[in-house]
Amino acid sequence: MNYVFHKVKSIGIIDSHTLIAQFEDGICKSYDMLQLLDKFPEFKNLLDDKTLFEKVHVEGSGFGIVWNDYFDLSCNELWENGKTIPTPFDGLIALSDATELWGLNESTLRKAISYGKLKIGFDVCNYGKQWVVTKKAMIREYGPAESELKIENTWDSGLVAAEKAPKYGKKQTAIIPNSFQFLRPIQ
Q: What is the pLDDT of residues 159-184, one digit of tens each?
A: 444 444 444 444 444 444 333 333 33
φ, ψ dihedrals at 185, nearest 5°:
-70, 145
Kindly list the domain boundaries of the chain, sorted by start residue: 2-85, 92-142, 149-183
Residue 58 has pLDDT above 80, yes or no: yes
The 3-state DSSP class for residue 43 equals helix
- Residues 44 and 158: their CA atoms lie apart, in Å, by 34
Residue 130 has pLDDT above 50, yes or no: yes
Q: Mean of the pLDDT values across residues 88-96?
A: 85
Residue 151: CB partners within 8 Å, gap ≥ 6? 2, 3, 4, 5, 160, 161, 162, 163, 183
CATH superfamily of 2-85: NE0471-like N-terminal domain (3.30.2020.10)
Residue 147 has pLDDT above 70, yes or no: no
Contact 151, 142 (CB under 8 A): no
User: Within a 13 Å sphere around the CA of 19, how many CA atoms are in the beta-carbon half?
Assistant: 32
- Spell out a b/e string for 58-67, using b for 16 or more CB atoms within 10 Å of the CB, else e: bbeebbbbbb
Sheet containing strand 18-23, strands side by side: 8-15, 18-23, 28-32, 83-85
Please tell me the predicted confidence (pLDDT) of residue 92.
87
